Structure 1
């Protein structure tokens, strides 16, 4: 039976068309049919949750153009990797307010790059308010699905991201299983910490096709280990869904073509978990070879068809950079004979 309850999750907003994590990206995503908007969360020096993809803001803001912050550029260890740049946790919120968002993938998304410099860095609370406004203006439920980024890194700096996320969701009447809200993390202990912090809503474990969650590094646990049938039964004790990298649902072949589905969806469903793979992007650079159109990496290929194949594999939601394209795929899927 074809599911008609497939969630369209706007990955960082409609970030295929506007700089990610901006008010414009979220507004456009809802106009294009998204059910949920996704902010990524890191923390400022004064403990405020803000909406950036990573602690390093070198590629997503104009910080490099601010000579007053030149001395803030430094190298830090983030999840075991040396990263050089400017870090949110070295700035107060007031200082971040002087920066403007930039398109991270300018060579692939020149249309989005035209909006560089127009939008400030948002706080999580501002995104929560915008979600409420968008729901009211659109006349339909609009959810929010924040991702806590690098929880171990933030905790080592003395922050409590899970507690702060829970506090703000509570203040905005979103701390309940019935609320249109989920919380995501690549770190299992972060999701477990949410429960300790008093979070009562739904949560989602993110996984990658390679590597391991940083918080479980000393145990030697990989993401692949977390997706075995036995492990998924345990994940279901503290999470409601998984969000695997899309190649964990349908791997690519050695020649970069779309292969055959794995058992991840079936095993997750057997454990009572929903499945929302990431990330579907329209540009040829992100598509399997047999779904590309022409040789231009920035040109849009056959994303509708790629999404359709994954929907047929039984997934429950789609993280997408171009919500209009994924909405088209979802509509075609649910109306097919």
Structure 2
């Protein structure tokens, strides 16, 4: 496939072009979260308008068992819950996946109570334009996200957050997720749905519950919270990838795992050899999140050359990518495919 020039040429950009296993998809990370508060209908709508193939809702449960879209179950930084005196006594401290967190948690609220809150920008200093939309959106349920996606003909990419923790408190998310997808008529390998998780055991359970494509998320350090593997690094060896291919359709690695300095690693080629698609995360425009070769200026919140970074990753043969800025992602992907 031909890759048209887009942005500046970088020292991290390989000269050869590797074919992908599947036509690359643009995954709107928490919606168009670089321009609207994350995991809101407004963020998803903007992503759809910008041409994203898929919108991503991270899923956490309420006290009455409803799945809602939040990056984490602690909602102190993404809602105005602290401004609601009626919920002051809900503030608490919990240990989740080995980390002690203090704040307000979705599992301590009914969905009706959560609907009284308003969303706000998680990175207000980094994204002041998005902060202008604080207070305008509620927390969407998973059913609402599904309805929006079906209305506009796009896919969804739900992530099960902390599945072992939620199962331990009697609020498992696997069954409600599958049930919601079945209500929508989505229960086969050819529907526009991908289920992702940083854990392993729940993906293996889901393999027996649904035919929807499953994605194993991995990071450059640490390992799955359920202890199903000694480390993510071990899972990304050729032998580890073959094992992952036994239950997953693809992997979602930290984008940094594609590179060793300025040279590509073997991750994409090794994953493809195991039959796994590769959807790295997360491509963001701000200098703070960009590798040094793509930064422009010294302002951390200033935008660098996101297009060039995505272009370099596409040359490695990735099969899709998560981005907070779907408009840029779609433009670069379409240029890579020769679409005008």
Q: TM-score range by the shorter chain?
A: over 0.9
Aligned partners of 1:250 and 1:310 also within 8 Å: no
Q: C-alpha separation between the residues in 2 aligned to 1:132 and 1:331?
A: 23
Aligned partners of 1:27 and 1:134 also within 8 Å: no
Summarize the alignment of residues 231-250 of structure 1 with structure 2, pairs less than 5 Å apart.
231-250=240-259
Summarize the alignment of residues 261-272 of structure 1 with structure 2, pairs less than 5 Å apart.
261-272=264-275
Determine if the alignment matches structure 1 residue 146 to structure 2 residue 155.
no
Determine the structure 1 residue equivalent to 2:311: 308
Equivalent of residue 294 in structure 2, options 277, 291, 295: 291
Equivalent of residue 74 in structure 1, options 75, 92, 102: 92
Q: C-alpha separation between the residues in 1 aligned to 2:194 and 2:263?
A: 29
Determine the structure 1 residue equivalent to 2:25: 7
Summarize the alignment of residues 168-187 of structure 1 with structure 2, pairs less than 5 Å apart.
168-187=180-199
Determine the structure 1 residue equivalent to 2:226: 215
Q: Which runs of 5+ in 1 are unaligned?
A: 136-141, 254-258
Comparing 154-163 with 279-288, which one deviates more in the overlay?
Answer: 154-163
Give the length in aligned residue pairs. Answer: 321
Determine if the alignment matches structure 1 residue 330 to structure 2 residue 333.
yes
Aligned partners of 2:216 and 2:251 also within 8 Å: yes
Deviations 1:214-242 (A, max 9, x none): 001xx661111110000111111100000
Deviations 1:32-51 (A, max 9, x none): 11000000000011111110
Aligned-pair Cα RMSD in Å: 1.3
Aligned partners of 1:277 and 1:317 also within 8 Å: yes
Determine if the alignment matches structure 1 residue 280 to structure 2 residue 291.
no
Q: C-alpha separation between the residues in 1 aligned to 2:80 and 2:241?
A: 41
Report 1 or 2 for greater relative contact order, CA contacts < 8 Å, sequence distance ≥ 6.
2
Q: How far is 1:331 from its partner? A: 2.2
Deviations 1:134-159 (A, max 9, x none): 22xxxxxx111100000011001112
Summarize the alignment of residues 33-182 of structure 1 with structure 2, pairs less than 5 Å apart.
33-135=51-153, 142-182=154-194
Determine if the alignment matches structure 1 residue 188 to structure 2 residue 200.
yes
Q: How far is 1:327 from its partner? A: 1.3
Q: C-alpha separation between the residues in 2 aligned to 1:335 and 1:172?
A: 34
Aligned partners of 1:100 and 1:119 also within 8 Å: yes
Secondary structure at the counterpart of residue 183 of structure 1: strand
Deviations 1:36-94 (A, max 9, x none): 00000000111111100001001111101111111111110010010111100111111
Q: Normalization by structure 1: what TM-score?
A: 0.93
Summarize the alignment of residues 252-267 of structure 1 with structure 2, pairs less than 5 Å apart.
253=261, 259-267=262-270
Structure 1 or 2: more helix by fraction:
1
Q: Normalization by structure 2: what TM-score?
A: 0.92
